[in-house]
Amino acid sequence: MKKIVLLLGLMACSLPALAKGDAQAGEAKAMTCVACHGMSGKASAPLYPNIGGQSEAYLEHSLQAYKKGERSGGQAEIMKAYVSGLSDEDISNLAAYYASMKP
C-alpha cells in the first residue's frame, strides 16, 4: 500500500512535466493572436472564442486541425492563414501559453 501511495505521489508531481510546450516561447508568438483573442486570452468580440485557461491538449489539437484544414466554417479560413506558418513547436508553445492563463 505504501508503494502505491508513493507511486501516485510521484505521478502527481510529474504532471506539470507532461506539458509539452514552452509558455514563455508561446508568449512571444502570441502577438498575432491578440487582435482577436486579447492579451489575456479573453476575446475582443463575441465572434471569437476565449482561449485563456483552456486545456493545452485541446488548444494544440485545435491549432493543428486549423493548420491541416480539418476545421471549416466560422473563422476557420482566417485561423488557417494565421497558423499555416507555425511549426509544430510553435503550436505547442502557443497552447502552453494560453493554457497557463487564468480562465
Nearest Cα residue to 37 out of 25, 27, 49? 49
- Tell me what pLDDT residue 66 has: 97
How many whole angstroms separate alpha carbon 81 and alpha carbon 96?
21
What grid cell was written down for 92?
A: 505547442
Q: What is the pLDDT of residue 26?
A: 96
- Global confidence as pTM: 0.79
Q: Are 95 and 34 in contact (CB under 8 A)?
A: no
Ranges of residues in the chain with a pLDDT under 50 are 5-7, 10, 13-17
Q: What's the pLDDT score for residue 64?
A: 98
pLDDT of 5 reads 47
The pLDDT score that the predictor gives to residue 18 is 52
Write down the pLDDT at residue 20.
Answer: 86
pLDDT in the model for residue 6: 46
**Spatial separation of the C-alpha atoms in residues 75 and 66, rounded to whole Å:** 10
